[in-house]
Structure 1
Amino acid sequence: MDAELARWKAAGQSFDYLGFDVFYRHEGQGPALLLVHGYPFNSFDWSAIWPTLTERFTVIAPDMMGMGFSAKPVAYRYSVYDHADMHEALLSHLGVRSAHVLAHDLGDSVAQEFLARNEFGEQSYGAWNIESITWLNGGLFNEAYTPRAMQKLMSATPLGDLMSPLQGSVLSRRLLEPTINEMFGPNTKPSRQLMDTFHQILEWGDGKRVLHKVGRFLDDRYTHRNRWVRAMRKTSVSLRLIDGPVDPNSGAHMARRYAEVVPDADVVMLADDIGHWPQIEAPEAVLTHFLAHIDRVTGQR
């Protein structure tokens, strides 16, 4: 295992979520900050901004079920609703009743579910207060989301089940890497070392066998789209979108749609060459704009 990834894993711990082990990092001091990672990797996505965040916040960063160092059962129905339940169970386990949220990709959908539960009184593990939400690139609105062809084939067709026994093979790596590369900006492509680390994350615990099952969260975005949008339009929680514009999935086109749908939308566009993983591609810029959002929220009190 890559040395940095091994250190990340060694610094974590786990809690029991309905009979399954969920990995999480919990570090720092100050107000609680919940980090909600995206698909298909894990909390290690936050490693570049972790030291700065833990200087100011008590940071909580789990790996979702089916990803990273958390349990990856095959006979399991992965869903945005269940991911939200897991995060709420972890907050309850830690005694946290108020937190800021920073989310990315699939994590955006999970945070939308948090917001809807907050607005409509539907929390699963007791009420907790959302102090703010900052979204990074993600499929906030289906009508503007353009997933890659491989993602659609693996999660929305029988191909995922057919390919499952081959996951972890050389063929699997060759099929996946072009899709990952495509989602990074032209000047921020992952190095060979980082790409190998991505594969280690995906393959830990035979994880690629359930990758396509986890990817079926796309269906949840259709099921819950209007409920989530009602919450976003109704809420008094402060929301900010920080967007990498050249992301083919959810770049500038998603930011434009966000500005159309969300009242008084707060949108920050990053440099023109930043893609889908801004916390990896432009960590300093993400920190600047995220902390400015937090300062604005806390300064209003």
Structure 2
Amino acid sequence: MSNLFNDYYLNILVMTCLWAALSGAWNLMAGYGGLVSLGQSAFFGIGAYITAIVYTKYGVSPWFGLIAGVIVTTGLAVVISWPCFRLRGAFFSLATLVFPIAMEIVANNWSDLTRGPSGIAIPFRPGLDTFMFSSRWAYLIAAFILMMIVYGITRWMHRGKLGLYLIAVRDDEATAQSMGINTVKVKLIVTMMSAALTAVGGFFYAQYILFLDPPSVFSINISVQIALLSIIGGLGTPLGPIVGSLVMTPLDGALSQFFGGGPRLLIYGVALLGAVLLAPKGIVGTVKAWRRK
């Protein structure tokens, strides 16, 4: 019984770190560049599926799948996002929403490669070469490292020229262009960074959960969840995604444990609404504002 409890709490911690990393990758785009994308689940799903396919179908190391997933998602991010940069605000968000919907349709219908709605079961063969571990502690360490890498990149960007350029673009793109900032280049760089880090999260998810089907990785709910954690924690702050995940992921896990789907979603929704109303700048932003008084 104690092992079951330990596994349950360790799983919550693993998912907290993973969600924080994914939300942190989104925060690079949305929090600093003002690019509120709803297509992150596409990058997440592609990273997960490529890892699973090269391992189960072709017998290639998942590490190769990680590299391939990062390359493919980065390339797709450029191809898909570039035309969307002409759009502003909600129009950009709606345009990016098409990507995960399209990818879920492809994954459902390309059954020769993805096994369609049946999904892909990944055989468990523990070892560093397969990135599979018998202990959840190993996964927790790996997830924590990924979270801290994303945090470190965000801190670096927050203090560097790229962060300043992105904030200038977010606040007033026309003025940023008049100052000599290549706005398209800056937005492409941050989009590629975000896509690559999200694909790494997909790789981790595939090797941790060991089962994929289209709704589990391409769902719009995943994109929304990723965004909400940064919004609740503090958009445009390095700590925001981590704080948001520390608050909301255990809450979601507890609600799943004690309530069914309907009541869980209702309570979770009320908690989200309360957080947004009470702390419109996010938890980190609200605490900073309170400390200045």
Q: What TM-score, normalized to structure 1?
A: 0.26
Higher strand share: 1
Higher helix share: 2
Higher relative contact order (Cα pairs below 8 Å, separated by 6+ residues): 2
